[in-house]
Amino acid sequence: MNTTIANLAVGEQGVIKEISLESIPLALLEMGCLPGEDVELIQIAPLSDPLYIRVNGSHLAIRKSTASQILITKK
């Protein structure tokens, strides 16, 4: 099922399917947030932003608006 990182529940995993290069910060791409990589939602901040994810062995904090631009397939 296709969805976005922003729609995952804590502990859910997926595989990055598609990224809009225009709307995703270059730093995320450099840290391995690329199509084909596994991603897991680790934690959601108390006010629902940012989201803490694990991708490519790294833990990253990303804004919910950015997470909603990253298309994934749930595992």
The whole-number pLDDT of residue 20 equals 77
The structural domains of the chain, ordered by start, are: 2-74 (2.30.30.90)
How many other CB atoms are found less than 10 A from the CB of residue 60? 18
Strands, sheet with 51-55, edge to edge from the N-terminal-most edge strand = 2-4, 70-74, 13-19, 38-44, 51-55, 58-62
The answer to whether residues 19 and 69 touch, using CB atoms and an 8 Å cutoff, is: yes
Tens-level pLDDT at each residue, the chain (75 residues) = 789 999 999 999 999 998 877 778 888 888 888 899 999 999 999 998 999 999 988 899 999 999 999 999 998
The whole-number pLDDT of residue 61 equals 94
The whole-number pLDDT of residue 1 equals 77
DSSP assignment letter at 6: G
The whole-number pLDDT of residue 29 equals 84
